[in-house]
Structure 1
Amino acid sequence: MPEPLTPAQLAARSGLSVPSLHHYEREGLISAARTGGNQRRYAPDTLRRLAFIRAAARVGVPLAEIREALSTLRGARPPSAQDWAALSATWRDTLNARIDTLTRLRDDLEGCIACGCLSLDRCALHNPGDRVGRTLPGGSQLLGDR
């Protein structure tokens, strides 16, 4: 059986800092056993959990959703390739919606660069449908300003 890893060893092998490991532990994403001297020791398969956490976080999945996904694994075992396929499929629609929103924002931004009007009906980024023009004719404002 492989030896448990100290926080420094796990940090070095995972590319994370020790405070990040402690944060993930507080968030319930990973767990550590304690030695007689109350020092943390991580099971070697924690590396696979960390890889899963980092991959999900990198694509924008919130830690709460990652924790929920990991809680579906029996006995806090490390996720397998099949687990990743199933769990990532549940996140696909959300990620696609985010991509669509960001693409639309990027495209709207290209049409607004150096415009400065913020109240014309064609300003889809700051004033979609010229809503400012309907409430403040001739006015110009940033989102949220009144």
Structure 2
Amino acid sequence: MSTQLSWRASEATVGELAARAGVATSALRFYEREGLISSRRTSGNQRRYGREMLRRVAFIRAAQSLGIPLAAIREALALLPEGRTPTPEDWARVSECWREDLNERIRLLEQLRDNLTDCIGCGCLSLTKCGLVNRNDQLGSEGPGARQLAHPGCFQPE
């Protein structure tokens, strides 16, 4: 299937949009159910997406790759205008919503990178030294031992 949409086409089928956006048709249906994109229905009940949905899908995928939750993506997309393709200024306003959060994530990743050698092998024991996961020895109040290892999947830097 071609990933090209005719420059004349104002709308795309679910298959055309999926191919062009590089996502499964099920992803488009999911995004629509979640209120992230919209379509109209033909008389035969087939979905038709406006060309502007291609940019929305690209934005959703980029945001997801940054670990931004769907609820935050939905809130940001709600800031975009209805009925027209967003301008660069519209996208700048939307992306500004996440600047502070992304800067904090970058700070935490840099801190992890810089302290990784000290952190490897500690298992986040109740050590006052661990500023990544056990800042101010907060896990010590939960009991002795490697608290994070006792709860797999709990590595959540603050």
TM range (shorter): 0.7 to 0.9
Misfit runs of 4+, over 6 Å: 132-136
Amino acid at match of 2:125: L
1:23 to 30, 54, 57: 30
CA contact (8 A) 1:70 1:76 kept: no
Counterpart-to-counterpart distance in 2, 1:54 and 1:141: 36
TM-score by length of 2: 0.72
Give the Cα separation in 1 of the matches to 2:30 and 2:148.
35
Contact 1:118 1:140 in 2 (8 A): yes
Distance 1:135 1:76 in 2: 53
State the Cα distance separating 1:111 from its structure 2 match: 0.3
Query: Share of identical aligned residues, percent?
Result: 50
Instruction: Give the alignment's TM-score, normalised by structure 1.
Output: 0.77
In the alignment, is the contact (CA less than 8 A) between 1:30 and 1:49 conserved in 2? yes
Count, aligned residues:
143
Provide closer, same or farther for how the CA distance between residues 117 and 18 of structure 1 changes in structure 2, counting only shifts above 3 A. Answer: closer
Cα deviation per residue 1:61-101 (whole Å; 9 max; x = unaligned)?
32222222222223253322111112212211111112212
Map of 1:122-141 to 2, 5 A cutoff? Answer: 122-125=129-132, 127-130=134-137, 139-141=144-146
CA distance in 2, matches of 1:134, 1:52: 42
Amino acid at match of 1:29: L
Give the superposition deviation at 1:105. 3.2
Q: Give 1:50's aligned residue.
A: 57
Counterpart in 2 of 1:79? Answer: 86
Contact 1:33 1:42 in 2 (8 A): yes
- CA, structure 1 residues 142+15, in 2 after alignment: closer, same or farther (shift >3 Å)? same
**Do the aligned partners of 1:49 and 1:79 also contact (CA within 8 Å) in 2?**
no
1:6 corresponds to: 13
1:142 to 111, 135, 147: 147
Conserved in 2, the CA contact under 8 Å of 1:118 and 1:126?
Answer: no
Distance 1:122 1:21, change over 3 A: same
